[in-house]
Structure 1
Amino acid sequence: MRKTRIAIVGAGLAATPHALALNELNDEVEVAGVVGRSPERLARFASTYGFPVSESFNAVLNDPCIDAVLVLTPPYTHLELVEQVAAARKHVLLEKPLDISMPRAERVVEACRAAGVQLGVVFQNRFRPAVQRLAALVTNGALGPLAYAGVDLRWWRPQSYYDEPGRGTYARDGGGVLMTQAIHSLDILMWLAGEVSSVVAATATTALHSMEAEDFASAALTFESGAAGHLLATTAAYPGFPERIELIGVNGTAVLEGGHLRVFFHDGRVDHFHDPSSSGFGAKPMDFSHTAHRDLLQDFFAAIREDRAPLATGDDALRVQRFIERITNDTGHRQ
């Protein structure tokens, strides 16, 4: 099997788990080069993980031996980068969110569709073992039709996190806790429970943070299936707690807290599954295993070889981003 050759654009905070994962997958992928805006950070990143530094982004685009590009830059840069990568007929794996607004996000997806290249999105939580187990329960009907589906995400980020230039702004990130942190859990929620038909929401910036976008959001939901639901998301809950996803079906209730899944069936059976990996819910955003990133990358490379869609697609990202923008626009938090 020929190795997939991939280039990395961006060597910031999000690049570390990808780098660790790519080195574990070196029997099936080759990192052809890394590009970034900061020469010092780029050199440090490339040296740490043994990756070559590319001459330029244009050199990546013009290299016919590069199959795909992993885009790990801030959200507001995504559209222009993806358009160029897709035009060069290279597959795209993109860090979430797609971009900072729905029109730009839709153009990201359309650029890849028009070019006939795969677009994968870094929703690595889909690959966590407890989430996979929960997804199997829904898919095989073990829980029965859902009556309720909800997310509680009570995380903590100190003010120093938002003091980084552009953090928590609409111009750079496209939003706050919903777009940057809760988007992963909301992706899982909509993946398992389906589209949301109605939302009654509230958002706020609490006294714990000085930032432009929201650090708190809550909503009462109704899904198209008729199931009820709710959302609570914040980065103001010190010291941070594992996120919780709860599904109530006619046959039982499943509660996922971090990597701990408990399922309580009406017939008296109780199923427990525990994955000890964290999700970065406290003051250290990158305090989690790279294993889920490795599995996501492996699925993306397989999708390229097999000419199929990856597990987490651009359309999946559009769905959850449309839901997020609906909340922030309807509550008036995003002007």
Structure 2
Amino acid sequence: MSAHSNHEPVGVALIGAGMIAESHIRALSAIGHARLEVVVSRRPSKAGHLAEFYSGPAPEFTSDLSKVTENPKIQVVIVATPPSVRIDLISALAKAGKHVLLEKPIARTVAEAETVVEICEQAGVTLGILFQHRMRAPSIAAAGYVAGGRLGALGHVDIAVPLWRDQSYYDELGRGTYARDGGGVLITQAIHTLDLALSLTGPVTSVQAMTATSPLHQMEAEDFAVAGLRFACGAVGSLVANTATYPHGLEVITLHFEHGSLRLDKERLDLDWRDGGRESDDFEAVQPIHKFVWHQGVIEDFLNSIQNGTAPMVTGREALSVHQLIEAIEVSSREARQVKIPAQ
């Protein structure tokens, strides 16, 4: 039973009516202790169709942020805007005492992300980051194996993000630019897999990397990145991420431990023990129309954290680690040198 069963529904607003908005609205529709009050969009007349994905009373669609900041029924705001408009927006929300659940990335740069985190901390509001890959069944199972300790010390990490995006994806105004998105495949796509990997391995301490834009895309930022990684636990590893792999491949994390190796993707977890034993878990595939269940898990966790006064699954400050890793990869490539990442 939900921790909210004895509470009134939490009033929620959604800011941003782009391609991810449907997942948020479907998720909120499935959560009995949340009530979607307002959707803020630059063009509310074009966002109204999203109401069909919500089972409760239709929310108000508006371009007026004060309909959120001045509404006492709204406690939580989900922000799903491009990262270029985050600081001013979150300043207004924090000043109004609204708790913020933020779509990745926090912001375009580490400096901007730190500013967002500090704004919320100083205002005393909770900031959570929506890294829904942590809510996948194989991810939860992998975390259990790692925490159990039977695998022993971690020695080697492989992170693969072989994705495809057609040129039409990057033809949208601002997409794949530093001014709007803060970068390319690293901060927009691979950030999910990197966050999940860090939750299992612990922090990276240094990187040696190369990024590039392949001939397959016309865009400002990178669609390809490769990096060698050193971890605080003593392990070494590699990352290969791109949006130039056709057909679209699976994002895979492979962790090689002292006593066995663990491989996970979005639907499967394989564990090969050094003594020859093998454990495999196939999880029911989540159909595209039902992918909102991962968002639902993160939103429910965030609502519970607000009601219970606990930290959400991924706090803003915790999420700075993946931003620091991405920025270190970019600096390493640009300056052709190893980059060390300071400990948090």
Shift, 1:330, TM fit: 2.3
Q: Partner of 1:323 in structure 2?
A: 325
User: SS in structure 1 opposite 2:74?
Assistant: coil
User: SS in structure 2 opposite 1:239?
Assistant: coil
Amino acid at match of 1:46: A
User: SS in structure 2 opposite 1:138?
Assistant: helix
Among 21, 37, 42, the alignment partner of 1:37 is 42
Q: Partner of 2:119 in structure 1?
A: 111
Calculate percent identity across the aligned residue pairs.
41
Shift, 1:320, TM fit: 0.2
Contact 2:270 2:281 in 1 (8 A): yes
Deviation above 4 Å: which 4+ runs of structure 1?
A: none
User: SS in structure 1 opposite 2:161?
Assistant: strand
Contact 1:277 1:288 in 2 (8 A): no
Matches within 5 A, 1:121-140: 121-140=129-148
Matches within 5 A, 1:68-217: 68-217=76-225
Q: Partner of 1:310 in structure 2?
A: 312
Contact 1:150 1:189 in 2 (8 A): no
Among 15, 23, 44, the alignment partner of 1:17 is 23
TM-score (norm 1): 0.94
1:309-329 CA distance string (max 9 Å, x none)? 101111222110111011112
CA RMSD of aligned residues (A): 1.6
User: SS in structure 2 opposite 1:83?
Assistant: helix
User: SS in structure 2 opposite 1:67?
Assistant: strand
Amino acid at match of 1:139: A
Change (3 A) 1:213 1:287: farther
Distance 1:251 1:97 in 2: 35
Worse-matched range after superposition: 48-57 or 94-103: 48-57
- Gapped regions of structure 2 (runs ≥ 5): 1-6, 336-344
Among 2, 5, 22, the alignment partner of 2:11 is 5
Change (3 A) 1:326 1:217: same
Shift, 1:51, TM fit: 3.2
Q: How many residues align?
A: 326
Distance 2:265 2:135 in 1: 15
User: SS in structure 1 opposite 2:222?
Assistant: coil
Distance 2:30 2:265 in 1: 28
Contact 1:151 1:245 in 2 (8 A): yes
Distance 1:185 1:253 in 2: 18
Matches within 5 A, 1:215-294: 215-277=223-285, 289-294=291-296
Contact 2:207 2:332 in 1 (8 A): no
Worse-matched range after superposition: 101-110 or 269-278: 269-278
Shift, 1:48, TM fit: 4.5
Contact 1:97 1:180 in 2 (8 A): yes
Asked whether 1:64 is paired with 2:69, we answer no
Amino acid at match of 1:34: V
Q: Partner of 1:282 in structure 2?
A: none
Distance 1:85 1:321 in 2: 22
Shift, 1:216, TM fit: 0.2
Distance 2:286 2:229 in 1: 27
Worse-matched range after superposition: 12-21 or 41-50: 41-50
Distance 2:65 2:282 in 1: 42
